[in-house]
Amino acid sequence: MAKLSDKENTKVPIGNTAGVATGRVQGNLVVLPAEYAADFLLFCARNTSACPLIGVTDVGNPLVPSLGRDIDLRFSVPKYRVWENGKLVSEPSDVADLWRNDLVGFVIGCSFTFEHALLADGIPLRHIEQGTNVAMFRTKIQTEPAGIFRGPVVVSMRPFQPRHLIRAIQITSRFPMMHGAPLHVGKPELIGINDLAQPDYGDAVDILDDELPMFWACGVTPQAAIAEAKIPFAITHAPGCMLVTERENREYAIL
Amino acid sequence: MAKLSDKENTKVPIGNTAGVATGRVQGNLVVLPAEYAADFLLFCARNTSACPLIGVTDVGNPLVPSLGRDIDLRFSVPKYRVWENGKLVSEPSDVADLWRNDLVGFVIGCSFTFEHALLADGIPLRHIEQGTNVAMFRTKIQTEPAGIFRGPVVVSMRPFQPRHLIRAIQITSRFPMMHGAPLHVGKPELIGINDLAQPDYGDAVDILDDELPMFWACGVTPQAAIAEAKIPFAITHAPGCMLVTERENREYAIL
């Protein structure tokens, strides 16, 4: 961690980063051997809601200067996942020892980024109130395949009162690079989610009688594709434990 | 009807105007004696979602040139409602005989205007498919009172599949003068609607299992306020039988 600046806003949080570093863009991480990079770029190009790319490294280089002077993909994520042949093998807090000269890092916008704009508008977010990770689910919606990558779209879920739900659609539509507008609302069974109390990633949150669940495409989607592709080696962030960049949310807002 | 142009797009439709005169702005009508005009202007100013004013006549003048050269409020609505002491007394097809030198006409934007943009985006609208009027309901949401005017907010309801619902919020947000974004979605009981099959105005439509009802503030709201205020004389349009103007929808779109 010695490589990191000690500036407050670039400190690496300990656990999940929901509600952390207010105002800073957060990103999902995918690190792959270069031989899979072209397929993955195509996968992102074909699935822009789930995988809006906000940064790509040069081969072997863990730095992403466009996202911040101090961003080093070996250290800047609070918890990583290491994948071998599509299986999750460890969750280290840095990947310095695993870094290789053939790796390419991809950073994908994260919905935690627009949560600041929702909170600033007076819209409460249950998982932040409860101090937990957001709930994420695999759906029956399929990504558009690209090369070896295919699999389900993963979504994050947040419950809202109807008036907040309408406003949340307006606000998140302004952040297309952070997954933008939701892709589903209400009726989770229509997208293959049968139990909101059993998320596939993150933590369950309460949904009150006057609330509806709303779903955004999620940057954990590539992890499902990595598992399905069974590629020999990959690194990702652990769901909810995001790369906190030095870019500001407002830089990614349209309109 | 002799005063009307024979241009196709300014012909007065026979009945309800949902899906009629595609591309033309539609309006709700309220005509009041001048002594109530100041109160009503204030009512509109305080309830802009329900009552976005797109035209106001001079006292005694039935013309609204800003909405079209051929608009004459005595003839240009396919079905009127005449109110005496807050009671509906007749539904004539013109009000030439009832016009007085002390009347002021108010035209309020109508959600039928943005339906064209929804259809153009590939979003089906059940009441148009079924050839019926839109369903409208009195809610338990109260308007902000102004002088003698007070009463419930009336809403129009349209059912949508979730993906269309999200898109419909984006699209209608672009039309603030046509009621703009919806004010409620799902859970009709939260706004005092107990039976979607029993609208207070217009026609019931089917709501399928994969759909959610969405609700927009409606320009019939003043009719509830007129009934409650029991003012001696008023004229309105009949719900769903709108003033079709010569203005184009796109002129009222923001962004």
| Of B202, B221, B186, nearest in space to B48 by CA | B221
- Tell me which chain A residues have a C-beta less than 8 angstroms from the C-beta of B187: 162, 210, 212
- Tell me which chain A residues have a C-beta less than 8 angstroms from the C-beta of B185: 162, 165-166, 185, 212
Contact A184 B162 (CB under 8 A): yes
Which of B170, B185, B187 lies at the smallest CB-CB distance from A173?
B170
Q: Which residue of A has its CA nearest to B212?
A: A186
User: Pairing mode, if any, of strands B135-142 and B80-84?
Assistant: unpaired
Work out the minimum CA distance from A240 to partner chain B, whole angstroms: 25
| Of A16, A46, A8, nearest in space to A142 by CA | A46
pLDDT tens, B58-68? 999 999 999 99
Q: Compute the distance between CA of residue B81 and CA of residue B88 in angstroms, rounded to an integer.
A: 7
Contact B163 A170 (CB under 8 A): no
pLDDT tens, B231-244? 999 999 999 999 99
Which ranges of chain A have pLDDT less than 70? 1-14
Sequence-ordered list of residues with C-beta below 8 angstroms from that of B67, at least 6 positions apart, any chain: B25, B27, B54, B55, B107, B243, B245, B246, B247
Query: Under the phi-then-psi rule, with left for phi > 0, alpha for psi from -120 to 50, and beta for the rest, what region is B66?
Result: alpha
pLDDT: which is higher, B132 or B14: B132
ipTM for this model: 0.85
A253 inside 8 A of chain B by CB: no
* 3-class secondary-structure state, position A222: helix
For A227-253, the DSSP string reads HHHT-SEEEEEPTT--EEEEEEGGGG-
- Tell me which chain A residues have a C-beta less than 8 angstroms from the C-beta of B162: 184-187, 190
pLDDT tens, A207-252? 999 999 999 999 999 999 999 999 999 999 999 999 999 999 999 9
Instruction: For chain A, positions 50-79, list CB contacts with chain B under 8 A.
Output: none
